Structure 1
């Protein structure tokens, strides 16, 4: 744990006056946006070649298969951001026709057997042809396993389940508004900016961030009272391991109240859960729990941060296992809503995330180590319903 210091920040510009802002209408953010110039003005932040999310450098992206929610499973590498490669018809040369005249003298059983083999061979050819087309679509020509590739990637809501339960990832009629599925209180819907993509992955959904000032999702209000006990958890899939990459935070004033994600700390790749304990989030009042993350790149990891207001402690769990704790004086309840893909530092946006998130949940209590241990076991009845949940 590192106390009394704040992380170096990678600033992003404030929103332009009179544009978009927080809680902007659904769809595209109006001209300007977060850090973008007004219409007719030159862009002071031209894209850098090779940067994540910029043309020429699609992030290697993709996913795990779609096991049921709450069941741990191995996860493969998601497909790249952006549009899939054009589907191409595989070359196919039909096999030469057999000599039917010579076969006429064969017995009835032999002819039946040959007919069956011919049918099986045709079916195999069709399957192989379809498989070749699928590889072209998912970019699987690099030799990576294909059983974890997505079946579809698109913006919009998922279809309700056959059992009648509404499993939509977005609000009905609002394809850029992530739906709060907890139903334990007033919902907090999360508005996705243009550089965020919702992807359907088998039976589940994930949200993908390309990085940069226009790649985030935010609510219209705070999701949790940080002055009281709480738990925040999400699965994270990072496709870059440099700088600071925050998966989830809260606050849009001078500073975050809490942030959780990936960061290089003292030259080491790390997972971090950090809180502000002083008024207006001065750097000297930041407290954090840090654990090394040597294999963080392109691998699904469950991160969970808790705050126990009675014991005045914060804790970080990695893949449902305790990673560290820290004593704090309390958490500063700064203004502003919950954020995905970025955090507020010294009055500017930073920590732009590049990768995927899903299974995002918040409880208005500090889960115990025993409760965190069963987060992804499917035995969630002992935890109580979360206050908020997205992409579960």
Structure 2
């Protein structure tokens, strides 16, 4: 843990002035206001690999695995082109067997009726516990050997609609949907260089790096004056600079930021908070953990703040990696951000990589709770306050 020092920052240009604010109309990224640089701005990331360059997002260097296709938890694999069937030769039409078709139709109706009766009973049992399992964690990447028992309901539950499974808001593929029911949802608007990808049974959001590569909330998702926990999986494809997964704040500074950075060729995971209202380096507190071999693999990061004990903690792969005592966190203005952070009045920390399993709790998770985030042992976690790409 390093106190009173701040990371080197790689600036993005200040946003152009205009009427924009934190809100935005569905289906478009605002053209003004904090966090939405105007078209035609120069890319300030000339020292970092840009999209299309070897080693940059979407263009793996020679001999490196292609990005984002994990075959096992954390293991990338190459994309494979599907084989396409050759067109068959046309055949001569023949007279259909009407009696056989009628017999098959009657058999299919009987089978559908029987499956409907069986399926209704199964649906009641599965839906009783399905929502809670969904938000507490897990995906196709990691096995879940010890799931809690699922209780049956006395009455049938309605089937889930496509909206329940979609990672985006209905009718707007640029808005990442807050998937926690009830409460006050916070949707995240993706800028042009942030894109959603379907990977088997799960989704991920990818960032190319640069001033138009981020996702921004319509409002704050974390009350930093109270206890909270933030967790996400991060996949970085570059090993230089600062690469922030999630942060909150604008104006002079972030309130908190979580991600990866490299200083003098040494990679680290970092959870950093601002304790002063001017964004000065001297008022920064942080937990920094070595991150050897962090590039081109998935890593789960969890950051917590205990407002009663005034402590911050950083977990790597669900294990406590470091903690620090702080005076408190400055409640800066501005919404939650993915893929970047606010530093000294400018945007920096542009992520070149991917995120999924993004969840926020309005409480501090204990080491025991963090250890079971994706194990299926869900009883002690409770519902998160916000969740995206899960």
TM-score (normalised: structure 2): 0.73
Give yes or no for the alignment of 1:232 onto 2:238. Answer: no
**1:90 Cα offset (Å):** 10
2:254 is matched with 256
1:368 is matched with 366
**1:18 Cα offset (Å):** 2.2
2:6 is matched with 6
**1:379 Cα offset (Å):** 1.8
Using the alignment, how far apart are the partners of 1:262 and 1:377 within structure 2? 25
1:64 is matched with 70
Residues 244-299 of structure 1 show CA distances to partners (whole Å, capped at 9, x for unaligned) of 00000000111000000001146421000000111232210100001100110011
1:301 is matched with 299
Give yes or no for the alignment of 1:359 onto 2:365. Answer: no
Would the aligned equivalents of 2:12 and 2:44 in 1 still touch at CA under 8 Å? Answer: no
Could you say what secondary structure the match of 1:261 adopts? Answer: strand
Equivalent runs, 1:195-344 vs 2, <5 Å: 195-265=193-263, 267-344=265-342
Could you say what secondary structure the match of 2:197 adopts? Answer: strand
2:99 is matched with none
**1:45 Cα offset (Å):** 4.0
Would the aligned equivalents of 1:59 and 1:239 in 2 still touch at CA under 8 Å? Answer: no
Would the aligned equivalents of 2:194 and 2:207 in 1 still touch at CA under 8 Å? Answer: yes
2:132 is matched with none
Could you say what secondary structure the match of 1:198 adopts? Answer: strand
Instruction: List alignment gaps of at least 5 residues for structure 2.
Output: 61-66, 87-139, 142-157
Would the aligned equivalents of 1:277 and 1:331 in 2 still touch at CA under 8 Å? Answer: yes
Using the alignment, how far apart are the partners of 1:257 and 1:170 within structure 2? 26
Identify if the C-alpha distance between structure 1 residues 377 and 334 changes in structure 2 by more than 3 Å, giving closer, same or farther. Answer: same
2:118 is matched with none
**1:54 Cα offset (Å):** 3.9
Range 248-257 or range 16-25, more displaced? 16-25
Using the alignment, how far apart are the partners of 1:366 and 1:19 within structure 2? 37
Could you say what secondary structure the match of 2:300 adopts? Answer: strand
1:176 is matched with 174
Equivalent runs, 1:18-37 vs 2, <5 Å: 18=18, 22-29=22-29
TM-score (normalised: structure 1): 0.72
Aligned residues: 310
Residues 74-107 of structure 1 show CA distances to partners (whole Å, capped at 9, x for unaligned) of 2332668xxx98x88799xxxxxxxxxxxxxxxx
Equivalent runs, 1:6-155 vs 2, <5 Å: 6-18=6-18, 22-29=22-29, 43-45=41-43, 51-54=49-52, 58-60=58-60, 61-65=67-71, 74-77=73-76
Instruction: List alignment gaps of at least 5 residues for structure 1.
Output: 66-72, 92-146, 149-161
Using the alignment, how far apart are the partners of 1:24 and 1:79 within structure 2? 37
**1:63 Cα offset (Å):** 2.3
Could you say what secondary structure the match of 1:274 adopts? Answer: strand
Would the aligned equivalents of 1:231 and 1:306 in 2 still touch at CA under 8 Å? Answer: yes
1:164 is matched with 160
Using the alignment, how far apart are the partners of 2:177 and 2:389 within structure 1? 8
**1:202 Cα offset (Å):** 1.4
Would the aligned equivalents of 1:47 and 1:54 in 2 still touch at CA under 8 Å? Answer: no
Using the alignment, how far apart are the partners of 2:293 and 2:73 within structure 1? 15
Residues 109-168 of structure 1 show CA distances to partners (whole Å, capped at 9, x for unaligned) of xxxxxxxxxxxxxxxxxxxxxxxxxxxxxxxxxxxxxx99xxxxxxxxxxxxx9626111
**1:36 Cα offset (Å):** 5.1
Using the alignment, how far apart are the partners of 1:281 and 1:46 within structure 2? 21
Using the alignment, how far apart are the partners of 1:347 and 1:50 within structure 2? 21
Could you say what secondary structure the match of 1:380 adopts? Answer: coil
Residues 200-235 of structure 1 show CA distances to partners (whole Å, capped at 9, x for unaligned) of 111111000000000000101110100110000000
Would the aligned equivalents of 1:15 and 1:21 in 2 still touch at CA under 8 Å? Answer: no
**1:16 Cα offset (Å):** 1.3
